[in-house]
Amino acid sequence: MYPGKEEDIATLLRLSGLKISSYAIDSRLCQMKSCFFALPGRQTDGTQFLSEVADLGGVAAIVPDNYQGPDFGLQIRRVADVKQTLRHVAARLYLSRRTCVIGVTGSVGKTTIKEFTATVLGGAYRSPGSYNSQLTLPLCVLNCPEDAKLAVLEYGMSRKGEMQKLVDLAPPDIGIVGPIAYSHAESFDSLAEIAEEKLKLLQDARLKVVHSTTGADGVIYDHEPMAFRLPFEAPHLVENAKAAVCIARFLGLCDDQIQAGLDKIQVVERRGTVTEYEGVTYYNDSYNANVTSFKAALAACPKKKRQIAVVGSMGELGKFSQSCHRQLGALLKGIDEVLCIGKECQVICEILGAKAKYFDEFDALKLKLQSMVQEGDVVLIKGSNVHQLWRLIP
């Protein structure tokens, strides 16, 4: 519960009659009539950016109750805990809406499933990017248009208990659970524990759409034949599209409407996008990585004269890190040349021998790749987000 007075919450929602256009926790994303939640940070504090919020046209800010600085013309509301207030206001607003919410989770493909589903449904609100955390999911709830009939939201977690908090804030009407893998695994003891946490999304959902690897009861979408035309053939993308089809049929769309939506879907940037440059094919799956998503990328990557894999280490794996990187090393044995970055990848180089090279620094890796690529090569680029390997694409 929000640690303040109930009348303050009511005032906060109305903000003295101001019509709020959007809510933000990043001052750079504020716009005309935005409300800014000034969250405390380790290195900076949100209150340091109130003037920027005002300059961008913001009209209100929620700040800690010990803030004594200027208001810069903003309507200021002081609260005991800005983060808890963000959650509480979002939860209150969620209960007052009539939007049908489709929640998406899983270790692999959340954003792609979300984008495909929202596109097939047509006109559905979708959470931006990978907004799926304890701070960003409440923002999605607050920024969802009041008249939205459908919303597709991502639910992410990295620790035990986090999924339940998100479900308590915004319980979905329909739940989708994608493949479960060792991802954000540092606080878990097994894959079964990760699955158990993810499956909390489904507890109150009217329709449960699950990938068969979860071991949960529900509509298993990767065993159904795809009866529609798709703009790609990669197996993991086909599975993601099947989830969208399941939802569309449940909501009453006819096959013609579903096909019209499928005709509009596009691969999400950095999650399997293909770039051709000077005769070289770059398969960019650099947004993030785990063993399961590496398998999918290797299966989907075009096969040509020579395959080069640029591999960044997989993060947040805890005690599973070495075994997962060993598995990846075995998966890469069929690749002609492998360039690695991230100390966890050293074991991959040990497994692959002379065909693999290890780099401590991105610039050295980039120079090596540039010097070796030839016309006709295919370059797979994949690793944890921290490496920002998409910078290798010309």
- 198 in Cβ contact with 188 (< 8 Å): no
Query: Tokens at residue 199, please?
Result: 């499956």
pLDDT band at 114 (very low <50, low <70, confident <90, very high): very high
pLDDT surpassing 90 at residue 16 = no
Half-sphere exposure of 55 (CA within 13 A, CB side): 6
Calculate what percentage of the chain has a pLDDT beyond 90: 88
Confidence (pTM): 0.93
Q: pLDDT (tens digit, 9 = 90+) per residue, 83-101?
A: 999 999 999 899 988 999 9
The residue that leads in pLDDT, 213 or 154, is 154
> What is the architecture, at CATH level 2, of domain 273-392?
Alpha-Beta Complex (3.90)
Q: Specify whether domain 97-262 bears CATH 3.40.1190.10.
A: yes
What DSSP letter does each residue of 348-386 carry, written as one string?
HHHHHGGGEEEESSHHHHHHHHHHH--TTEEEEEE--GG
Domain boundaries of the chain, sorted by first residue: 6-82, 97-262, 273-392
pLDDT at 255: 97
Which residues, including other chains, have CB under 8 Å from residue 95's CB and lie 6 or more apart? none
Q: What homologous superfamily does CATH list for 6-82?
A: MurE/MurF, N-terminal domain (3.40.1390.10)
Q: pLDDT (tens digit, 9 = 90+) per residue, 326-347?
A: 999 999 999 999 999 999 999 9
pLDDT band at 11 (very low <50, low <70, confident <90, very high): low
